[in-house]
Structure 1
Amino acid sequence: MSNTKYSEDHEWISVEGDVATIGITNHAQEQLGDVVFVELPD
């Protein structure tokens, strides 16, 4: 079962079992253009 949650900043996380996938919405992609750097917490 997939469980997707969205932030107010147009980011999302989808959890399926013990795997999580993160991303940004289409709106955020259109507003940001090219994403060249991503910093994730340890």
Structure 2
Amino acid sequence: MNKYCVNGFKFQTEELSRNKKTNNSGVYIQGDVDGTGQTI
């Protein structure tokens, strides 16, 4: 299986995306620092 969908998010294997012109393999998470309201 090269592509799959989990909870509305689409994923593909690294092998499938290797030959594409663009690739986004990063992960973005926004978090709160010690309850101060500052985000990292």
Give the helix-richer structure, 1 or 2. Answer: 1
Give the strand-richer structure, 1 or 2. Answer: 1
TM-score of the superposition, structure 1-length normalised? Answer: 0.35
Q: Which structure is higher in RCO with an 8 Å CA cutoff and minimum separation 6?
A: 1
